[in-house]
Homo-oligomer: A and B are copies of this chain.
Amino acid sequence: MVTMQDVARASGVSVMTVSNVINGRNVSPETRGRVLEAIDTLGYRVNLAARNLRKGRTGTIGLAVPEVDSPYFAQLAARIITHAEAAGFRVAIEQTGLSREKELTTLAQSRNYQYDGVILSVVGLGKEDAALLQVDFPAVILGERIFDGPLDHLAMANVEGARAATEHLLGAGRRRIAMIAEVEAEPDSGVASLRFHGYRDALLGAGIAVDPDLVVAPRNVTMPAGRDAVRELLDRGHDIDAVFCLTDTLAIGAMRGLADAGLRVPDDVMVIGFDDIIEARFTIPSLSTVDPGHDFMARTAVEMLIERIERKGTAGPPREVISPARVVARESTRPAADRA
């Protein structure tokens, strides 16, 4: 390993001068030339572990997401990287695999001075873990389950978005509206129960009672699970005319399941999802969904985190921000009258 010492010796200057050259501080052109040459011939590289230790920061922020290959999280990550790099931070993505333990570990590890701050997308942690989040470290929580927690928190307008999605289906004349979501036992404790809340509100508002038989739990949040959930729904023998899916990923699977059963979307069954992933614009038929304010979320998460990082001790109380959601109508909910 080549160190600054070696470079300093080779170019006949002190290590400090080498450091100054590397960090672009004032050094006479002649000296700088000699140093750069030595760096080149020796193949010297800064040791970031040493620099980080000395400076007490790394210039890297951690982003923890449940799954990197879920389109929603992948697209969120890409947006966050864009914003963070614009602000001069590198981003390291970690996968928590939907586990509460890994989410806690990531937060703890971050405090090990690996990252200057962390954006944690939470699905496993719940209200009961709020105490464990009591860390004196720049962190922003993305997710639904930790309201009134000790950290900055950014959530979506889940209830409102889900209500709007359901009203959109009602507005198209549908009445037998199923929902694909695993609703948590405790009300409003997670994404699913919040979106179910919106679904129920919309139905009640239209004078329709929630039929528990029309709410089916997928085994996870993937396309295969969405397809199988639709099969179960159809096996129950009910006459459904629309499905509201917890996420677009489930919705894409659901559309596949409907096609397998010989049902046409939107004519026989309308489908709407939630998330507005890029894929939704390219399914056949294209998928109506709820845009949870992607750009707002990514930008806000990065801004909140960087502000905490820069302001160090001078913390201020935790903030709570809700990103607005809006329905994006596409072919999968288009009424017959609108078509050629």
Interchain CB contact under 8 A, A48 and B90: no
Report yes or no: B95 in contact with A92, Cβ–Cβ below 8 A: no
A132 close to B (CB within 8 Å): no
Please, which residues of chain B bring their CB within 8 A of the CB of A48? 109, 112-114
Could you tell me which residues of chain A, from 268 to 308, have a CB within 8 Å of some CB in chain B?
A: 278-279, 281-284, 286
Please tell me which stretch of A72-80, A145-153, A180-188, A314-322 contacts chain B, meaning at least 4 of its Cβ atoms lie within 8 angstroms of it: A72-80
Q: Which residues of B contact A256 (CB under 8 A)?
A: 281-284, 286
Interface size on A, residues (CB 8 A): 51
In the bound complex, residues from chain B placing their C-beta under 8 Å from that of A58 are 49
- A113 and B47 in contact (CB under 8 A), knowing A69-B75, A77-B68? yes
Give CA–CA (A45, B49) in the complex, Å.
17
Whether the Cβ atoms of B95 and A68 lie closer than 8 Å is no
CB–CB B281/A223 < 8 A: yes
Chain copies in the assembly?
A: 2
Check: A255 CB closer than 8 A to any chain B CB: yes
CB distance from A201 to the nearest CB of B (A): 30
Tell me the residues in window 190-232 of chain A with beta carbons closer than 8 Å to chain B beta carbons: 222-224, 227
Q: In the complex, A134 Cα to B278 Cα: how many Å? A: 38
Select the residue from A75, A91, A112, A282 with max chain B CB neighbours within 10 A: A282
CA distance A95 to B83 in the complex (A): 13
User: CB of A94 within 8 A of chain B?
Assistant: yes
| 111-133 of chain A: CB within 8 A of chain B | 111-114
Q: How far is the CB of A314 from chain B (nearest CB, A)?
A: 17
Tell me if A141 counts as interface (CB < 8 A to partner B).
no
Of all A-B residue pairs in the complex, the 5 with the closest CB atoms, nearest first, are A92-B92, A69-B78, A49-B52, A93-B93, A49-B53
The chain A residues found within 8 Å of chain B, CB to CB, are 1, 43, 45-50, 52-53, 56, 58, 67-71, 74-75, 77-78, 81, 90-95, 108-109, 111-114, 136, 222-224, 227, 252-253, 255-256, 259, 278-279, 281-284, 286
